[in-house]
C-alpha cells in the first residue's frame, strides 16, 4: 500500500503519508487510489477538485458546507507550506469545537483527510503556497458556511509569521461558533 496513516487526536481525521519513489529524474507518488483509500476507511467518492494559491500570511477559512452538500476534503500542498486546520463541528461528537492542525508542504507531501462535518482553513506559511484538495460534494452557495478564524471559543494557535495576516472581507465577517450552533451541519 502506498499510503501510511498517522493518527490524529480527532476521530475520523486522518493524516496520510504517501509513498514516494525517488531517483535521479525526480520523484513519483500516488496522491489518491480508490482501493487503498477504501482500505483506510475513506469510502467517499470525490466529485470536485480545487486549487488555490496564496501569499505568505494569507488565512483562508474556516469554511464548511451544510447538509445536504457537506464536503469531505482530501487536502495537500503542492508548493510552499501551510498550517492546515480542521475544526470538528459534528453534532454529538466528543471533540465538538476542537481543532487539529499540522504543516502540509510541498516537501513533506503529507495529506489531511477531513471528513464532512468539519470546518477547514489554512494559513500560508510561504509566498506562492498552493493547495489542492479533492471534495466529496460540489460547491453549493446555499450550503456555504463558516466560522471566524480567530474564534475565542475554538482558540486556534495560528503561527506568528511576523507579518500581518491577509484575510478576505468575507472571512472577516463570518460568525462565531456560538452564533451558529443551532444552524450546524
CATH of the domain at 119: 2.60.120.10
Domain assignment present for 172? yes
Domain assignment present for 35? no
Domain of residue 170: give its range: 46-183
pLDDT, average across residues 72-98: 96
Give the count of domains, the chain: 1
To the query of whether residue 165 is one of the catalytic residues in this protein, the response is no
Q: Are 77 and 126 in contact (CB under 8 A)?
A: no
Of 133, 139, 165, 176, which is the active-site residue? 133
Closest CA to 65 of 53, 41, 48: 48
Domain assignment present for 30? no
Instruction: List all residues 6 or more positions away from 8 whose beta carbon is below 8 Å from its beta carbon.
Output: 14, 15, 100
Report, in angstroms and rounded to the nearest whole number, the Rg of the chain calculated over CA atoms.
16
Q: Is the peptide bond before 151 cis (omega within 30 degrees of 0)?
A: no
Mean pLDDT, the chain, as a whole number? 94
Domain assignment present for 12? no
Domain assignment present for 13? no
Examine the pLDDT at 152 and tell me if it is beyond 60: yes
pLDDT, average across residues 81-87: 98
pLDDT at residue 185, rounded to an integer: 53
What's the pLDDT band for 7 if we cut at 50, 70, 90?
confident
pLDDT at residue 56, rounded to an integer: 98
Q: Are 81 and 128 in contact (CB under 8 A)?
A: no
To the query of whether residue 63 is one of the catalytic residues in this protein, the response is yes
Q: Are 62 and 149 in contact (CB under 8 A)?
A: yes
In this structure, what C-alpha cell is assigned to residue 137?
460534494
Burial of 120 (0-12, 13-18, 19+ CB in 10 A): buried
Domain assignment present for 8? no
3-class secondary structure, 86: strand
Domain assignment present for 32? no
What's the pLDDT band for 184 if we cut at 50, 70, 90?
low
Examine the pLDDT at 8 and tell me if it is beyond 80: yes
pLDDT, average across residues 105-122: 97
Domain assignment present for 54? yes
pLDDT at residue 182, rounded to an integer: 61
Examine the pLDDT at 27 and tell me if it is beyond 60: yes
Q: Are 31 and 133 in contact (CB under 8 A)?
A: no
Q: Are 184 and 66 in contact (CB under 8 A)?
A: yes
Percent of the residues in the chain that have a pLDDT greater than 70, as a whole number: 97
Of 63, 139, 165, 176, which is the active-site residue? 63
Distance between CA atoms of 102 and 121, rounded to whole angstroms?
A: 11
What's the pLDDT band for 162 if we cut at 50, 70, 90?
very high
Phi, psi of 141 (to 5 degrees): -60, -35
CA dihedral 28, 33, 35, 37 (to 10 degrees): 110
Examine the pLDDT at 52 and tell me if it is beyond 80: yes
Amino acid at each position: 500500500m502506498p499510503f501510511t496513516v498517522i493518527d490524529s487526536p480527532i476521530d475520523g481525521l486522518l493524516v496520510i503519508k504517501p509513498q514516494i519513489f525517488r531517483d535521479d529524474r525526480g520523484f513519483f507518488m500516488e496522491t489518491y487510489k480508490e482501493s487503498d483509500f477504501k482500505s483506510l476507511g475513506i469510502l467517499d467518492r470525490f466529485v470536485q477538485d480545487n486549487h488555490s494559491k496564496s501569499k505568505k500570511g494569507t488565512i483562508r477559512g474556516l469554511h464548511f458546507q451544510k447538509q445536504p452538500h457537506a464536503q469531505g476534503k482530501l487536502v495537500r500542498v503542492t508548493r510552499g507550506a501551510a498550517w492546515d486546520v480542521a475544526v470538528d463541528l459534528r453534532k454529538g461528537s466528543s471533540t465538538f469545537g476542537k481543532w487539529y492542525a499540522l504543516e502540509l508542504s510541498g516537501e513533506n507531501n503529507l495529506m489531511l483527510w477531513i471528513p464532512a462535518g468539519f470546518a477547514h482553513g489554512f494559513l500560508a506559511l510561504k509566498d506562492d503556497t498552493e493547495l489542492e484538495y479533492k471534495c466529496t460534494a460540489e460547491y453549493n452557495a446555499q450550503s456555504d458556511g463558516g466560522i471566524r478564524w480567530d474564534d475565542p471559543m475554538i482558540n486556534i494557535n495560528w503561527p506568528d509569521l511576523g507579518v500581518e495576516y491577509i484575510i478576505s472581507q468575507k472571512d472577516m465577517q463570518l460568525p462565531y461558533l456560538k452564533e451558529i450552533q443551532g444552524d450546524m451541519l
